Structure 1
Amino acid sequence: MGWLRGVGRRRRDLGPVAAGLALFGFGLAEIYVPLAPYVEGDGPDLTELSDGWMAVLTVLLAGYCLAVAACGAYPRVAVVLAGVCFIAQSFTPLLPESPATPLTALIVVCFACVAMGGRHGPAIAAVSYFVSAGIETTIADEPDWAFIAFVALAVMGPAYAVRMRRAQVERLVALAAERETAARTDERLRVARELHDIVSHGVAVMVLQAGAAQVMLGSDARQAHESLDAVQEVGRDVVTELRRLLVVLRGEGSLERLPSLRHLEPLLTGVRAAGVRVDVTANGDLGRVPAAVDVSGYRVLQEALTNVVKHAPGVTVSVAIDVGHTDLRIHVVNDGPRIVRRSDGSGLGLTGISERVELFGGTATTGPGKGGGFEVRVELPLSGNSAAPMPSSTGASV
């Protein structure tokens, strides 16, 4: 499509050039092949003009046509050039009001300057037109300001409407570009969040299992092998999730493999393999939860369990999932110490939970539990009136 736009742009650039050449041919016919008014005495007899005056008129004609040819690319320069030529011809035996070419050229370039001449285009066009037309009528001793004003309104009025239309189109194009940039930024953030959800959970489990294998390697080889097998299994899951995300980013995602709160066993298996005991209670019909809310609820739960694996290994976690009439509620609490070990990270996990919930207009509360440990409470509306887009097969927004 790029070459088509290029062809269209070249055609627009060649249009004024073709108009200028056509006007030049018509003007030569007016000068060197005088029509009836000049022969019958209503205008000057061009056959009696000297070669010098004919050369001057030809140069001025070339100036008019050059102004028309350049009015698309350089409208302000073109209107000044046409005005200068119009004034100069006012001092020749052939006034610019007699042939059609001078006035036609001046009107065309004034229209172009008003429509496309930038911030000062209308003012430059108005000065060039009124000054040149005023000087010409003064020299001709026939000042007709009513006609001059009528022509100005007839030409510059529509030109100004075109100018406003072009400005509106430019604003819409700029707005579309801003929205596209914002959409790209949002998409990068969503992908980054999805990568964090996928990698953070898997890597945390693998690190703990690898550490356990290292401890057990000398004393309990069977347990060490089991830990290494768990590392391998979690690694495969992470690779699978990453492949799914890449498939979605290529636009080939399928809704058949959406993470769901109805299928928590793979997630819970990895967490339990890391030494964390998890009890899950689900109330309500998870089947009526919209897909976007379901995937986000799954990711919130995944992040909450990953935080437990990282900061409070060995504790017991209680998970309550409740599907109400208007919202989905998820409550995750562990029985660990009130003050748990913090990682060296920047707390992106909890931030990611808050961002996901905010997309749906929900609420998220995180902090130490009343009876010790740490808890995460999330409420996600089921109405679907959220700003969140439909998730892909990995939960990535598309």
Structure 2
Amino acid sequence: MRWAAGAECRTLTTWAPVVAVAVLSQAGIGLESDWSGSDASLALTSALLAGPLLLRAARPVLTAALIGAALVVQVQLGGSLHFASFIAVLVASFATGRHAGGQRMTAGVLLLLVGVVLAVRDSLPESVEELVFPLFYVSAAAALGSVVRRQARQAAELHGLNEALVRERDAIDRLVVATERLRLARELHDVVAHTLTVAVVQAEACEAALDADLERAREAARQVQAAGRRGLADLRSLVRVLRDTDATTDEPGLDDLDTLAGVMASAGLEVTVERAGTFRGLSPELERELYRIVQEGLTNVVKHSSAAWVRILVRAHDSRVQLEIVDPGPAVESPVPSGGHGLAGMAERLAPFGGQVTAGPTSDGYRVHVSVPVHQEAPA
């Protein structure tokens, strides 16, 4: 609808001056003196004045030349100019400023003035001042067209900039959504993987102890229940944030590592947490990511190692925090399917903070090492 309206408007503005000049010329309105030519010559001059105006947008200089020539022909055939001649010169002058620039505009104005001078040359010896008025209105119309051309160009540039801003805003929105989806994927991975891994290990212990040690089997079943409750609580917290953007979650930090160690101890994995240095300048966001990395590392130990203990070392020095997760191994085939995103998720967590993660087997086990700078603002 908008395109159709624009097309109709362009058609109207293109043809309106043409029709007006043709009708006014044929009617002979505003003749400076009696028309000395025939009706056919009047119709011819009307066509010569109106026709070139159809080309004014595509060929403004040519239009100016044709209008100037039409003025001379009109005087030769009928001995007089009229109001339609004045309108045609104004429209052609405006078109040179609107659709031509620089030297082309100057050339179009000069061609029109030459046509006017040749058309009124017989009266110049007695009234040279008659040239002042044509010079004024031709120049003024061309200047007005030039102003409109500059404004149209600026409007087009602003429109282009606005479209670029809209595209950039859409790209930023998509990036924000993708970043948030990635963060939620990491959170869900850590919460679900940790909970299910502990639950599977305890369920296996329960099954193994059913015949030999009923009390141990009951304790293992209770640990499965506890793991499930913790997992549900974490999932509810995440869902609450998704449903309510103003809601907040209880962000875990480095102080919660001892609690996490206790949870893993209930799963049969002895975890030792060692701290060294003074922890200052750590944002809550960075502490949360370090906690999740430890959680993921311990989950991987349970899934991929038969180690009975794990050592976690967190130390701060030289404006950096370093974190190590070391287990003695040996590696075993995991009974729990792995998505293969654990180490990649660790690196993604620390990337906004400028941190690095290295991981690999040692002589008798496996080691995850994290290094991240501190005393910086949390990433947006």
Structure 2 CA distance for partners of 1:135 and 1:221, relative to 1, 3 Å: farther
Measure, in 2, the Cα distance between the counterparts of 1:223 and 1:244: 32
- What amino acid is the match of 1:380? V
Q: Does 1:106 align with 2:95?
A: yes
Structure 2 CA distance for partners of 1:265 and 1:131, relative to 1, 3 Å: same
1:44-63 matches, cutoff 5 A: none
1:256 offset after TM fit, Å?
5.7
1:285 offset after TM fit, Å?
5.9
Structure 2 CA distance for partners of 1:56 and 1:97, relative to 1, 3 Å: closer
Q: Does 1:221 align with 2:214?
A: yes
Match of 2:356 among 357, 363, 379: 363
Measure, in 2, the Cα distance between the counterparts of 1:154 and 1:45: 40
| Superposed CA offset, 1:30-81 (max 9, x none) | 6656899833349x799967896699699869x86xx9xxxxxxxxxx9349
| Superposed CA offset, 1:269-289 (max 9, x none) | 432222111122334566863
Q: Does 1:39 align with 2:31?
A: yes
1:17 offset after TM fit, Å?
5.4
Q: What SS does structure 2 have at the residue aligned with 1:99?
A: helix
Q: What SS does structure 2 have at the residue aligned with 1:257?
A: coil
Structure 2 CA distance for partners of 1:192 and 1:39, relative to 1, 3 Å: same
Measure, in 1, the Cα distance between the counterparts of 2:37 and 2:289: 86
Is the contact between residue 278 and residue 316 of structure 1 (CA under 8 Å) also seen in structure 2? yes
Measure, in 2, the Cα distance between the counterparts of 1:54 and 1:224: 111
Is the contact between residue 97 and residue 146 of structure 2 (CA under 8 Å) also seen in structure 1? no
Match of 1:191 among 166, 184, 188: 184
Give the TM-score, by structure 1 length: 0.65
Structure 2 CA distance for partners of 1:342 and 1:37, relative to 1, 3 Å: farther
Measure, in 2, the Cα distance between the counterparts of 1:52 and 1:106: 24
| Superposed CA offset, 1:145-177 (max 9, x none) | x969x7586565554444444444444444444
2:297 counterpart residue number: 304
Measure, in 2, the Cα distance between the counterparts of 1:25 and 1:46: 27
Greater relative CO, 1 or 2 (CA 8 Å, sep 6+): 1
- What amino acid is the match of 1:192? A
Is the contact between residue 199 and residue 227 of structure 2 (CA under 8 Å) also seen in structure 1? yes
Measure, in 1, the Cα distance between the counterparts of 2:308 and 2:38: 110
CA RMSD of aligned residues (A): 5.0
2:376 counterpart residue number: 384
Structure 2 CA distance for partners of 1:250 and 1:243, relative to 1, 3 Å: same
Measure, in 1, the Cα distance between the counterparts of 2:307 and 2:92: 92
Q: Which has the larger radius of gyration?
A: 2
1:374 counterpart residue number: 366
Is the contact between residue 274 and residue 313 of structure 1 (CA under 8 Å) also seen in structure 2? no
Q: What SS does structure 2 have at the residue aligned with 1:336?
A: coil
- What amino acid is the match of 1:373? G
Q: Does 1:341 align with 2:332?
A: yes
Is the contact between residue 30 and residue 99 of structure 1 (CA under 8 Å) also seen in structure 2? yes
Q: Which structure 1 segments of 5+ residues have no match?
A: 1-8, 68-77, 115-121, 390-398
Measure, in 1, the Cα distance between the counterparts of 2:17 and 2:139: 24
1:356 offset after TM fit, Å?
1.9
| Superposed CA offset, 1:77-132 (max 9, x none) | x9349899888877697798631574377369738xx9xxxxxxx9xxx7xx8999
Match of 1:209 among 193, 202, 206: 202
Measure, in 1, the Cα distance between the counterparts of 2:259 and 2:313: 18
Q: What SS does structure 1 have at the residue aligned with 2:254?
A: coil
